[in-house]
C-alpha cells in the first residue's frame, strides 16, 4: 500500500509539474542547441530603435536599455530600427502581457512597406493572443515583392509560458535561408531555392516591434475581440541585437551599399559558413518543434489553396 501511495504521489507531482511548465499542460524539454545570440553584442533600445507610433505608450526603462510597449483603449505602440538592413541577425528578448489577451498581437518583424508600398518584403514573428484561451500562439510568415495575398504562415504552440519571463525571438536572414528562432531553437527555416526565389525577401528592410489591436484579423473575423477591461496590455522588450549589412543612403532605393560597422570584421556578418546551413544540433531542434508543437502550415492547407504554392512540393 505504501508503494502504491508513493507511485500516486510521483504521478500527481509529475502532473503538477507538467501543468506549470507549459501552457498546453505538458512538459516539453527542448533540446540543447548553439546559442547564436551569444555571437553578437546587445545594444540599448535607444541605440538601435526609435518611435514608430504611439509615443505615449512607449516607456523606456533601465536608461534606455529596455522598453515597455503598451496597447490600451487609446492606441497601440511600436518601435522601428534607426537603420535599414540587407541581411543580418535581429533578436530581442520579449515578455508578453498576461491575462485575457484575445485579439492582441505582438509583432517582431522586418518590412520595407514604407518604401515599397505595392511591392514590399516582410519577415514576421507574430505572437497572437488566441481566441478565448489564455495562451499565446506563435505565427511566422514571410513574403517578397508584395505577395501578401499568398500568405506563407505557420503556427506553433509555445513550450513555455511567454508571460512569466523573457524569451528570445530571433530572425536570421541571408542569401542562403531565413531562420526563425525562439530561445535559439529554430522553429522554421525557409531555404532560398529556385522554387521560392521569386518571393524571397530581396530588398533592404527595417526592424519593427509593435503591439496592436488585431481583433478583426486574429480572431476569426472579430469573434473574440480585444477586451479592454483586461488592459492595458504591456509587452516588455530588451536584449536587443541588430547586426547586418546596414544600408547607406543612395539615389536608388533598390541599391545595396553596405555601411562599414566598426564592430564587425565583415560588412555582412551572417554570410559566412557558420550561418549558411543549420547544424546537426539546430536540425534536431527544428524537427523537435515541428514534430511536437506545429499545428498549422500553409503547405498543408488544401482548403485555402486549391493548388499549393510551388515551394511546398520542392525537395
Q: Are 296 and 287 in contact (CB under 8 A)?
A: no
Longest dimension (CA), the chain: 82
Q: Please give the radius of gyration of the chain, using alpha carbons only, rounded to the nearest integer.
A: 20
Inter-residue long-range contacts of 49-58, CB under 8 Å, 24+ positions, other chains counted? 49/79, 49/80, 49/81, 49/82, 49/207, 49/209, 49/240, 50/79, 50/80, 50/82, 51/78, 51/79, 51/80, 52/77, 52/78, 52/79, 52/80, 52/208, 52/210, 53/77, 53/78, 53/210, 54/78, 57/232
Q: Is 126 a catalytic residue?
A: yes
Catalytically annotated residue among 122, 154, 241, 243 = 122
Question: What span, in angstroms and rounded, lies between the C-alpha atoms of 184 and 125?
Answer: 14
Q: Is 34 a catalytic residue?
A: no
Catalytically annotated residue among 34, 115, 126, 241 = 126
User: And the C-alpha cell for 191?
Assistant: 531555404
Q: Which residues of 257-293 are buried (b: 16+ CB within 10 A; e: fewer)?
A: ebeebeeeeebbbbbeeebeebeeebebbbebbbeeb
Active site amino acids? 122, 126
Amino acid at each position: 500500500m505504501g508503494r502504491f501511495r508513493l507511485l500516486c504521489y510521483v504521478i500527481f507531482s509529475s502532473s503538477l509539474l507538467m501543468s506549470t511548465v507549459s501552457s498546453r499542460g505538458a512538459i516539453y524539454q527542448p533540446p540543447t542547441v548553439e546559442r547564436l545570440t551569444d555571437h553578437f553584442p546587445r545594444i540599448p533600445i535607444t541605440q538601435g530603435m526609435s518611435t514608430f507610433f504611439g509615443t505615449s505608450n512607449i516607456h523606456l526603462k533601465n536608461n534606455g536599455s529596455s522598453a515597455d510597449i503598451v496597447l490600451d483603449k487609446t492606441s497601440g505602440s511600436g518601435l522601428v530600427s534607426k537603420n535599414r538592413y540587407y541581411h543580418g541577425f535581429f533578436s530581442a528578448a520579449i515578455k508578453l502581457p498576461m491575462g485575457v489577451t484575445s485579439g492582441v498581437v505582438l509583432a517582431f518583424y522586418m518590412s520595407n512597406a514604407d518604401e515599397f508600398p505595392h511591392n514590399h518584403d516582410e519577415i514576421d514573428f507574430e505572437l497572437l493572443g488566441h481566441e478565448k484561451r489564455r495562451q499565446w500562439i506563435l505565427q511566422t510568415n514571410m513574403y517578397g515583392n508584395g505577395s501578401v495575398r499568398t500568405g506563407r504562415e505557420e503556427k506553433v504552440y509555445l513550450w513555455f509560458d511567454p508571460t512569466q519571463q523573457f524569451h528570445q525571438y530571433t530572425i536570421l536572414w541571408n542569401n542562403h535561408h531565413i531562420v526563425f528562432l525562439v530561445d535559439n531553437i529554430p522553429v522554421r527555416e525557409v531555404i532560398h531555392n529556385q522554387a521560392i526565389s521569386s518571393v524571397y525577401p530581396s530588398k533592404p528592410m527595417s526592424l519593427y516591434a509593435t503591439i496592436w489591436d488585431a481583433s478583426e484579423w486574429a480572431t476569426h473575423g472579430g469573434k473574440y475581440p480585444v477586451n479592454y477591461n483586461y488592459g492595458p496590455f504591456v509587452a516588455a522588450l530588451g536584449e536587443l541585437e541588430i547586426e547586418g549589412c546596414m544600408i547607406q543612403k543612395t539615389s536608388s532605393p533598390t541599391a545595396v551599399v553596405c555601411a562599414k560597422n566598426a564592430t564587425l570584421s565583415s560588412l555582412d556578418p551572417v554570410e559566412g559558413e557558420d550561418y549558411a546551413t543549420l547544424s546537426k544540433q539546430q536540425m534536431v531542434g527544428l524537427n523537435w518543434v515541428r514534430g511536437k508543437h506545429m499545428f498549422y502550415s500553409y503547405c498543408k492547407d488544401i482548403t485555402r489553396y486549391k493548388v499549393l504554392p510551388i515551394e511546398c512540393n520542392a525537395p
